[in-house]
Structure 1
């Protein structure tokens, strides 16, 4: 029992470190670990729902601290924030409805595909954020990006950062 708790503590700490360095959250690590640890305890019908709820609760809490830090450092661009935020909230609604209709196996497959996509995207060189001393505007489809991230976040349990960071920086 103690060794399992110690393992989970170490994994959680590494996930937190990963989240802090890359700004993408620890869900990429935490969700697969929780699925492995909890599959013998929680019925498969509820497993992914429980794991994604826990993961999104952790992501929400940790994102508050990251947001406060970025606000203090004036790293907040209001013209991008509003369409992304509204799209994310609206996208979470159909995503959560669909997640109840999909089997745990299919949700694991969706999670795996998203992690592979994000990993490949992160290997690309970053976009230029500033040209000629001015901040480069993001594309006008930020609302759509936010909506899709809301859908995928509520489906998989991954926080939005794991998708937003690679999409908006590469």
Structure 2
């Protein structure tokens, strides 16, 4: 599949918009990239049956590329709980590879339905976050029995759907392991980096087996450049916008996108 250079501004713009919104709302860009690419690939590049599969794999590469800077920033800011990260990595990496095989081989209709349901969950989390500033406190407990299921599930979700997974790992580490929120965010950003790296490797294996080019490197790098350029701007605007209103509007858009994916699978 060739890449039309005239599409560069479009994908660059997608990265800029998503990077800006992600920084404001504290969400990963995959929840935007995947549905947009699923819609755009058939129209712009003639990809039909495997559009969502290619969208997921390409989105995951963007997640990996954009996670590099956030991971380094959190390490420098000393926001990483290394004991938690070490325990989370094994299950996270295994889950990420398993998830990439799900994404490579599950029927496209199943992926559409599953991603649509995931979007409903994200919309619910955004609505639930409105007006809430409460976080779990107490003595930190990073027992293996708690960390393994959280990190393993996050790895599977990350690679199966091409998203970061922080919407799952951050609240879970905070609620169940009592890790301070700042450390949850920093540790999760590094976990996402490694999970996404393993997931991308898994999709490379998957496309070798299936013979289908799942990852569009040209699109991924173009989007990533825009996202990394816009994220600092989004952070600057954090104190200037009504975040609760923005969450409501974005949640409605996510719900609409979820319905579109679910109806498209029928």
Judge same fold: TM > 0.5, yes or no: yes
CA displacement 1:13-71 (0-9 Å, x = unmatched): 12111222344321111111111100243544432232112111110111110011111
Q: Distance in 2 between matches of 1:21 and 1:86?
A: 31
> 3-state SS of the aligned residue for 1:141?
helix
Aligned residues of 2:150 and 2:173 also touching (Cα < 8 A): no
Structure 1 window deviating more from structure 2 (54-63 vs 138-147): it is 138-147
Aligned residues of 1:31 and 1:55 also touching (Cα < 8 A): yes
Specify which of 138, 142, 147 is matched with residue 147 of structure 2. 142
CA displacement 1:101-144 (0-9 Å, x = unmatched): 3222211211121222233234244553555xxx6445641211
1:91 aligns with 2:95: yes
Does the C-alpha gap of structure 1 residues 62 and 16 become closer, same or farther in structure 2, counting only changes over 3 Å? same
TM-score by length of 2: 0.54
1:25 aligns with 2:28: yes
Aligned residues of 2:57 and 2:162 also touching (Cα < 8 A): yes
More helix by percentage: 2
Count matched residues: 167
| Residue 156 of structure 1: how far off its partner (Å) | 1.0
TM-score by length of 1: 0.81
Q: Distance in 2 between matches of 1:103 and 1:144?
A: 26
Give me the CA root mean square deviation.
2.7
Structure 2 stretches of 5 or more lacking a match? 176-266
Does the C-alpha gap of structure 1 residues 8 and 39 become closer, same or farther in structure 2, counting only changes over 3 Å? same
Specify which of 130, 135, 155 is matched with residue 128 of structure 1. 135
1:11 aligns with 2:14: yes
User: What's the counterpart of residue 170 of structure 2?
Assistant: 165
Structure 1 stretches of 5 or more lacking a match? none
Q: Distance in 2 between matches of 1:81 and 1:22?
A: 24
Does the C-alpha gap of structure 1 residues 53 and 67 become closer, same or farther in structure 2, counting only changes over 3 Å? same
Does the C-alpha gap of structure 1 residues 89 and 126 become closer, same or farther in structure 2, counting only changes over 3 Å? farther
Larger Rg: 2
1:57 aligns with 2:61: yes
